[in-house]
Amino acid sequence: MYTEQLNNKSFRPLEKQENKLLQYKEKFKNVSYFNIRLQQKILVRLKEKLKYRIQIQMIRNHKKIDIYKKTIKYLDPINLLKKGYSITKYRGKILTNASQIKEGEILETILYKGKLISKIENKKFE
């Protein structure tokens, strides 16, 4: 009987410690589950935020592309030719000044529809 009491007394602190460990284990399990759920919610929100920002950036990029397209179209030399302007070349280079050419030289003038080949008979400076 004495050995039984001794055994019971010596195992009680161990049982208490074991119970505490089980309680901590359960607590830790609950805290871990809560933290995981919280992190999952944060990740879902971040994913939605990222998706929204990507959509906004895509819209901005499409607007920029539209502006670039319009600018390219506006600056296209064909549009100038359609308005009645012409491009005159001498030896393959664009002519911008009458002093760049002498009388008797041959020029190429590009129109919206077609080209003209001209011979310079005289020139004036203004």
pLDDT tens readout for residues 50-64: 999 999 999 999 999
Q: Do residues 68 and 110 both lie within one domain? A: no
DSSP 8-state assignment for residue 126: -
Is 125 part of a structural domain of the chain?
Answer: no
Q: 90 lies in which domain range?
A: 78-119
Q: Do residues 13 and 50 both lie within one domain? A: yes
If you search the block for the tokens 């002498």, which residue do you land on? 102
Residues in the chain: 126
Q: Which residues pair with 88 in a beta bridge?
A: 109
pTM for the predicted model, two decimal places: 0.48
Task: Select, from the ranges 4-8, 82-86, 120-124, the one with the highest average predicted confidence (pLDDT).
Answer: 82-86
If you search the block for the tokens 């001209």, which residue do you land on? 118
Q: What is the pLDDT of residue 30?
A: 67
Q: How many domains does the chain have?
A: 2
Q: Do residues 29 and 61 both lie within one domain? A: yes
Query: Tell me: the pLDDT tens digits for 71-115?
Result: 998 888 898 899 899 999 999 999 998 888 899 999 999 999 999
Is 85 part of a structural domain of the chain?
Answer: yes
- 118 — phi, psi (to 5°)? -125, 150
Q: What is the pLDDT of residue 88?
A: 94
